[in-house]
Amino acid sequence: MRSMLLRSMLGGYALSALLGIACIFASFSGPFAMLLWSSLVVSGVLTIVLLAGSLHHVGHPMLRIPMGVSSVAAVVSGGLLLVMIWVGTGMDDSVGRWLGMILLGSLALSLSCLHLGYVFYWRFTGRVLRILCFGLLAVNLFLLSQIESAIFFDELVEAIGSALGPDVYAQLIGALVVLFVCGNLSLPVANLVVRGRHSHLDQTGLSVRIEIPIDCPRCGHRCEMRVGDSTCPQCKLGMHLRLDEPRCRCGYLVYRCEAADCPECGRHIPDYLRWTPLSPSS
């Protein structure tokens, strides 16, 4: 199913590229422009659905409901946008207004749920990173409530703005947007640094503990090989040893873990990484 969606998405973007070239020569008029916008809408909806499905499979198990909501809301917004592209000119103003409101509301809901998957994709290690993740979730929900209120309950937003002051309200929203963008950009960098630091510490401990006695493959001299770079004392042959420990996608070491799911993030542990106790004969 996902491979079919992926092929459809790539085909939609390829079709959009061809239609875009045709629209350039046709001055963005006629049926080519409508077909171009339609293919872009379909490709965008497929992109959101694929991202939601991928985050559901590799992220936290709790993401099943929000990723499903994101996919359904994306399909609804895409379908309404296609209707407005093809029959928008002959549509009643009130009907078009309500369709536009539903379209914007469903699109905001879809992107908000997709952002939840993005946040829960990363591993929550350390107090600072946990505060960052839950702070991003809080800002996400607040901005979503403000967008939905501005679309469906504009009187409420006007009341809040008049109570705080229009300038203060606009400055508050602007500051939250800046913090939201900066936090989302720093989240993968922070996780990469933390994961690399943990991996380095683990490899350092292994390099101190492990010594493998081997016969040099060139001269046959008996020597010991450690994790990393080693050299034969006799013929100076350079050798390199690397150990890859079984780890979950979140970075958790699943050594001696017999459970089917990671105890740290709840992701499913593949069979080739799962600990299997063997008898001495095996």
**Percent of the chain whose pLDDT exceeds 70:** 86
Q: What is the DSSP string of 237-261?
A: -EEEE-----B-TTS-B-TT--SSB
Residues in CB range of 10: below 8 A, 6 or more apart: none
Instruction: Provide CB contacts within 8 A for 168, sequence distance 6+.
Output: none
Helix H or strand E segment including 209: helix 166-209
Helix H or strand E segment including 15: helix 2-25
Inter-axis angle of helices 31-58 and 64-87, nearest 10: 180
Assign residue 224 a region (left: φ > 0; alpha: ψ between -120 and 50; beta: otherwise).
Answer: beta
User: Which one-letter DSSP state was computed for residue 48?
Assistant: H
DSSP-assigned states of every residue in 131-169 = HHHHHHHHHHHHHHHHHHHHHH-HHHHHHHHHHH-HHHH
How many domains does the chain divide into?
4
The kind and range of the H/E element at 99 are helix 93-121
pLDDT tens by residue, 221-254: 998 887 778 899 999 899 888 777 788 877 778 8
Q: How far is CA 211 from the centre of its chain?
A: 40
pTM: 0.67
Q: How confident is the model at residue 281 (pLDDT cuts 50, 70, 90)?
A: low
Q: What is the pLDDT of residues 126-178, one digit of tens each?
A: 677 788 888 999 999 999 999 998 888 888 888 888 888 878 888 999 999 99
Asked if residue 249 lies in contact with residue 228, where contact means CB atoms within 8 angstroms, the answer is no
227 and 117 assigned to the same domain: no
User: Does 215 lie in the same domain as 135?
Assistant: no
Residue numbers of the domain that contains 97: 1-121
| Co-location of 55 and 27 in the same domain | yes
pLDDT digits (tens, 9 = 90+) for 77-86: 999 999 888 8
Q: Quick one: 24 and 88 in the same domain?
A: yes
Q: Does residue 116 sit in the same domain as residue 129? A: no
Q: Clarify whether residues 135 and 66 are in a common domain.
A: no
Which secondary-structure segment (H or E) carries 214?
strand 211-215
Same domain, 6 and 113: yes
Reported as half-sphere exposure (CB side, CA atoms, 13 A), residue 267 has a value of 26
- How long a stretch of residues is the chain? 282
- Report if residue 249 sits inside a domain: no
- Which residue in this structure is represented by tokens 């079984």? 246
